[in-house]
Amino acid sequence: MPKKIRLGILGGGGDSLIGVLHRVASFINDNYVITGGVFNAEYDESIKFAQEIDIPTNRIYNDLDALVEAELKLPKEERIQVCSILTPNFLHFPMAKKLLDNGFHVICEKPMTTTYEEAKILRDTLKKAGTVFAVTHTYTGYPMVRQMREMIKEGVIGKVHKVDAQYYQGWMNPIIHDKEKRSTVWRLDPKKAGISSCMGDIGVHAFNMIEFTTGLQVESLLCDFNYLYDDNQMDMDGTVLIRMGKHVKGVIRASQVATGEENGLSIAIYGQKGGLKWEQENPNYLYRLNDPEPLQVYKPGHQYNSKLSLDGTKLPPGHPEGIFDAMANIYLGVARAIRGEEYNDGEFPTMADGVRGLNFIESTVASHKQGNVWVGLD
Ligand SMILES: NC(=O)c1ccc[n+]([C@@H]2O[C@H](COP(=O)([O-])OP(=O)(O)OC[C@H]3O[C@@H](n4cnc5c(N)ncnc54)[C@H](O)[C@@H]3O)[C@@H](O)[C@H]2O)c1
């Protein structure tokens, strides 16, 4: 088998936010070659962008249907093997379904679909396809988040009893307060984003981080949203009380109007013997609270870290690695899975995480709309 995996990109054009993160991540560990795709809804734009970044234009297609039809005619050893779906949310489901139905591996941006129903259909489709499916909850790829997961699994903080995740951004603030502007952003259009803005876009990352690090599942939640304006259908801010068991409780706080905040994702997990805290904006520091001992700081690349954490570090300690590397770690895990190599199930979020995410998003909206009541997750 040739060394590099042939990767197609859907969305992620030059006008996008997330495209560059995936392109760089796919390149970092020398596992992938971008072979073609559909970068934009407009064919001319896709071609122009492919020329800009020096990707051969003969494998740039008008749409996904054309890509699948043409690629399936190619010999297997030339065909695109995996596609990354980086489009606005409403296209994730139809694109992922078509790819799985035709035997491709898929790397899909979050939220995986726009409804829980679609997510469950996709889960069944994957069972039949038997290919690899990853959901890019990027932050799980950071070495110190992986370390947090492994330390909790080993019992370093004892039995978990309190979880607290916060994801605060402020970028929606100038948009939401302007009546004209708030009708132009796809993230505020339920037809394109799904039923939730704040929880669908960022709260779902916080939710995934809690389940990823603790290995526990949220059983029920109670949510209170702020929509800010009566004509706005999408939540801008939300506070979610969560129960992960009779004596494991916590909170997810998410906001797109936390004025002045940038990408303030943080997570704290407390157990009987101590706590662990991590912040996305300072990702190379994992704090271990160990009452009555002094605070300890764990950093990437040191041999005291777990195998899973060390696998996500490329340079010696003290060479800061960041968001591109976190996404690259996810791409590395997916490459191993595609090649049939051994990998740790903490290396990339899967279909199961995508389905849980949609279950969470819909439950937050149901809880708020029913008058801030407790809602059970499946
Ligand atoms: N993992 C993360 O941390 C993270 C961060 C940001 C965004 N995202 C997710 O990534 C996805 C894209 O977000 P974004 O901020 O990059 O959006 P964006 O609006 O900046 O970019 C979307 C891209 O999709 C292209 N596109 C639109 N319709 C298309 C079609 N029919 N075919 C092909 N391309 C098409 C657009 O031209 C554009 O290049 C969303 O689902 C979002 O939730 C994830």
**Could you write out the DSSP letters of every residue in 43-58?**
HHHHHHHHHHTT--GG
Token duo for residue 85:
């779906």
- Report which secondary-structure segment, H or E, holds 11: strand 5-11
DSSP string, 111-163: SSSSSHHHHHHHHHHHHHH---EEE--GGGGSHHHHHHHHHHHHTTT-SEEEE
Q: What is the pLDDT of residue 327?
A: 98
Contact indicator for 49, 140 with CB cutoff of 8 Å: no
Q: How far apart are the C-alpha atoms of 222 and 367, rounded to whole Å? A: 6
The number of the ligand 1 atom at minimal distance from the alpha carbon of 85 is 11
Give CA–CA dist 106/91, Å, rounded: 13
Domain residue ranges of the chain, discontinuous segments joined by +: 5-138, 141-315+351-369
CA distance 210 to 217: 8
Q: What pLDDT does 217 receive? A: 98
Residue 277, strand partner residues? 268, 287
In this prediction, what percent of the chain has a pLDDT beyond 90?
97
What pLDDT, on a 0 to 100 scale, did the predictor assign at position 56? Answer: 93
Work out the pLDDT band at 231, boundaries 50, 70, 90.
Answer: confident
Tokens at residue 320, please?
């800061």
Most distant pair of Cα atoms in the chain: their distance: 65
CA of 199 to the centre of ligand 1 (A): 17
CA of 292 to the centre of ligand 1 (A): 47
Q: What pLDDT, in 10s, does the model give residues 344-357?
A: 999 999 999 999 99
CA–CA separation, 122 vs 114, rounded Å? 12
Give 23-46 pLDDT, tens digit per residue.
999 999 999 999 999 999 999 999
Given the CA of residue 15, which atom of ligand 1 is nearest to it? 39
Tell me what pLDDT residue 2 has. Answer: 54
CB atoms within 10 A of CB 94: 14
Quote the ligand 1 centre to 40 CA distance (angstroms): 9
283 CA distance to ligand 1 middle (Å): 24
Residue 328 scores a pLDDT above 80? yes
Query: How far, in Å, from the CA of 19 to the mean position of ligand 1?
Result: 7
Nearest CA to ligand 1 atom 15: 17
d(CA 252, CA 229): 23
Q: Which atom of ligand 1 is nearest to the CA of 13?
A: 39
- Confidence class for position 146, pLDDT limits 50, 70, 90: very high
How much is the average pLDDT of 258-283?
98
Domain 141-315+351-369 top-level CATH class: alpha beta
Give residue 329 CA to ligand 1 midpoint distance, Å: 20
The b-or-e profile of 117-141 (16+ CB within 10 A means b, else e) is ebbeebbebbeebebbbbbbbbbbb
Average pLDDT value for residue range 112-131: 98
39-95 pLDDT, tens digit per residue, is: 999 999 999 999 999 999 999 999 999 999 999 999 999 999 999 999 999 999 999
Residue 378 has pLDDT above 90, yes or no: yes
| Burial group, residue 290, by CB count within 10 angstroms (0-12, 13-18, 19+) | middle
Burial 197-223 (b: 16+ CB within 10 A, else e): bbbbbbbbbbbbbbbbbbeeebeebbb
Q: Which atom of ligand 1 is nearest to the CA of 205?
A: 3
Pocket around ligand 1: residues whose beta carbon is below 6 Å from it? 10-13, 15-18, 38, 40-41, 86-89, 91, 109-110, 136, 138, 201
Specify the ligand 1 atom closest to the Cα of 16: 20
Confidence (pLDDT) at 309: 98
Is residue 203 pLDDT above 70, yes or no? Answer: yes
Tokens of 141: 């790829």
Ligand 1 centroid–CA 137 distance in Å is: 14
Sequence-distant (≥ 6) Cβ neighbours of residue 94 within 8 angstroms = 64
What is the DSSP pairing of strand 32-38 with strand 5-11?
Answer: parallel
Fold of 5-138: Rossmann fold (3.40.50)
What ligand 1 atom has the least distance to the C-alpha of 201?
43
Measuring from atom 37 of ligand 1, which residue has the nearest CA? 40
Q: How far apart are CA 18 and CA 39, in angstroms?
A: 12
| Cα–ligand 1 centroid distance for 119 (angstroms) | 18
Cα separation, 337 vs 356, in Å, equals 21
Q: Is the pLDDT of residue 1 over 60?
A: no
The confidence band for 285, taking pLDDT boundaries of 50, 70 and 90, is: very high
Residue identifier of the C-alpha nearest atom 9 of ligand 1: 109
Residue nearest to atom 6 of ligand 1 (CA): 18
Q: Over the stretch 164-182, which tens digit does the pLDDT of each residue have?
A: 999 999 999 999 999 888 8
Residue 232 Cα to ligand 1 middle (Å) = 22
Ligand 1 probe mutation, 20, 21, 40, 281, most atoms within 8 A of CB: 40
Residue 281 has pLDDT above 70, yes or no: yes
Q: Is 80 exceeded by the pLDDT of residue 184?
A: yes
